[in-house]
Amino acid sequence: MEWTGARYADGPTAEVTTWIDAPAEAVWPAVVDLAAMAGTSPELQAVEWLDGAGPAVGSRFVGHNRHEALGEWSATSQVVECAPPRVFAWAVHDPADPSATWRFTLHPEGSGTRLTEWVRLGPGRSGLSQAIEKMPDKEQKIVFVRLREFEANMTATLAGIKERAEGRG
């Protein structure tokens, strides 16, 4: 990831892509298996669907997270896009003013699938907002470091999805 000088209000993003040797229909179940995703992410520790729901627009889940510098927290998210086997996305906290939006897109490519994970910070407040308020002169660095962490975590998540979708995990 290159330095952009982005501020939180800019809605900065990070994106990671991988190619998976399986059709999108075979990759999709691994993308929407959020409980298994927790096993591959260094930060996401567990996920619980609320109200007996599963992956569908409007469904909600709670993600439990841990970060060395930020501590432990839980956040409720709502699925905002679910178009099998192409797009799965959710907004953290309030879908109208999310603290982050996460999206997976699946594109058939050759005999496999190009899988992309993308995240946008804000516009709603998050734990990062509190750090920025404490050190406003370091906002751009705080945002950059967090996006680099997201990029590393997403790389691990996509590797886990690839392994499961290709039948190796």
pLDDT of residue 70: 80
Paired tokens of 165:
């979708």
Q: What is the pLDDT of residues 11-44, one digit of tens each?
A: 999 999 999 999 999 999 999 999 898 888 889 9
Report residue 134's pLDDT band, with 50, 70 and 90 as the boundaries.
very high
pLDDT of residue 71: 85
Q: What is the pLDDT of residues 97-112, one digit of tens each?
A: 999 999 999 999 999 9
Paired tokens of 37:
């995703």
Radius of gyration, CA atoms only, the chain: 16
Residue 113, pLDDT > 70, answer: yes
Confidence (pTM)? 0.94
Residue 144, pLDDT > 90, answer: yes
pLDDT of residue 52: 80
List beta partners, residue 18.
Answer: 115
Give the C-alpha separation, 80 to 92, whole Å: 10
| Vertex 119 angle, CA 57 and 36, to 5° | 65
Q: What is the pLDDT of residues 74-90, one digit of tens each?
A: 999 999 999 999 999 99
